[in-house]
Amino acid sequence: MRAATDLPAPLDNPFRSSVWPRIAGVALLVYVVWACAQMDISWARVEIGLENAAHFFSRLFPPNFTRWEILVKGLLESLQIAVLASALGIVLALPIGLCASRNLMPAWASWPARFLIVTARSFHPVIVAIVFVKAVGFGALAGVLALTVASIGFIGKLFTEAIEEISLKQVEAVRATGAPFASVLGFGVLPQVFSRFIGFATYQLDSNLRNSTMVGIVGAGGIGGTLFAAFQRFDYDFVCAILLSIIAIIMAGELMATAVRRIFIGNATFADLWRRGRAAPKLQPLQDD
């Protein structure tokens, strides 16, 4: 047993401070002040903005739902755009994400797939929607194509990262049986990434629901066009009705995503979805030998 004198002496200050974080903080503060001065951001403009915001919000309420036919038509079109774009984007992103994984594919296949994913992620959906509006004209088709590109970029990147983080021991075990490549994917790769893929897919549908309201502003269909027209007419009570309806449909999408995750990941039944949660299993008492 070592004597107490053999132990290393304690440090005088284990949390030794450094001057560099302070320098970085001062530099960040100086940059923020300089950037605000360059962009003409001042407290006077903030006060004016608060006054205008108070006047604007006073005109929003009460919401006007009398033109519910136009509202429902726009919401249904946004929902259709989101579902179609999510389904098409996920189907296309799966093989692209698989080809981009460097632990399963050679470099000649992974690098072009990664370039395609980066290209799809480089532009905001509104910019892509403007391009497709110019290409195919106004309407829902441009919105579906724009959100499909966004889905490929998002799902492809996350699916690639999920595949690259798997354990190769299970993959090698399936390969050792002489199974073909499709069986390796089905029994060695898919079980390890399935739960994460369900989360990616449900989040992408939720994201497309939100983005479908934006692409409509540039003429790509959906409720966004109705919202933009209401703003131009200063019809703020109808704007409030549209905004509340968008919040409601996003909340419904969140509930649906939660239900899908409980079914595919938590092995819940449809009856379990109406309960607050599945009962935890009871622990058996310990028995004395």
Domain ranges of the chain: 76-220
The answer to whether residue 1 scores a pLDDT higher than 80 is: no
The answer to whether residue 147 scores a pLDDT higher than 60 is: yes
Average pLDDT over residues 114-124: 88
Confidence of residue 222 (pLDDT cuts 50, 70, 90): confident
The answer to whether residue 63 scores a pLDDT higher than 50 is: yes
Cβ contacts of 172 within 8 Å, gap of 6 or more: none
Joined tokens for residue 225: 């066009």
The answer to whether residue 166 scores a pLDDT higher than 70 is: yes
- Position 273 scores a pLDDT of 63
**Counting Cβ atoms within 10 Å, is residue 12 exposed (0-12), middle (13-18) or buried (19+)?**
exposed
Distances (CA, A) of 14 to 7, 11, 17, 19, 22: 16, 6, 9, 16, 19
Spacing of C-alpha 18 from chain mean position: 38
What is the C-alpha separation between 188 and 101, in angstroms, rounded?
A: 14
Average pLDDT score over the chain? 80
The answer to whether residue 284 scores a pLDDT higher than 70 is: no
> What are the respective helix, strand and coil percentages of the chain, to the nearest 5?
75, 0, 25
Assigned CATH class of 76-220 = mainly alpha
pTM, entire model: 0.74
The answer to whether residue 32 scores a pLDDT higher than 80 is: yes
The answer to whether residue 288 scores a pLDDT higher than 50 is: no
- Position 270 scores a pLDDT of 62
Confidence of residue 7 (pLDDT cuts 50, 70, 90): low
The answer to whether residue 280 scores a pLDDT higher than 80 is: no
The answer to whether residue 70 scores a pLDDT higher than 80 is: yes
Average pLDDT over residues 175-196: 80
Of the listed ranges 27-41, 170-184, 253-267, 272-286, the least confidently predicted one is 272-286
Average pLDDT over residues 4-30: 72
What is the C-alpha separation between 162 and 189, in angstroms, rounded?
A: 10
- Which has more confidence, 13 or 91? 91
Residue type, 154: F
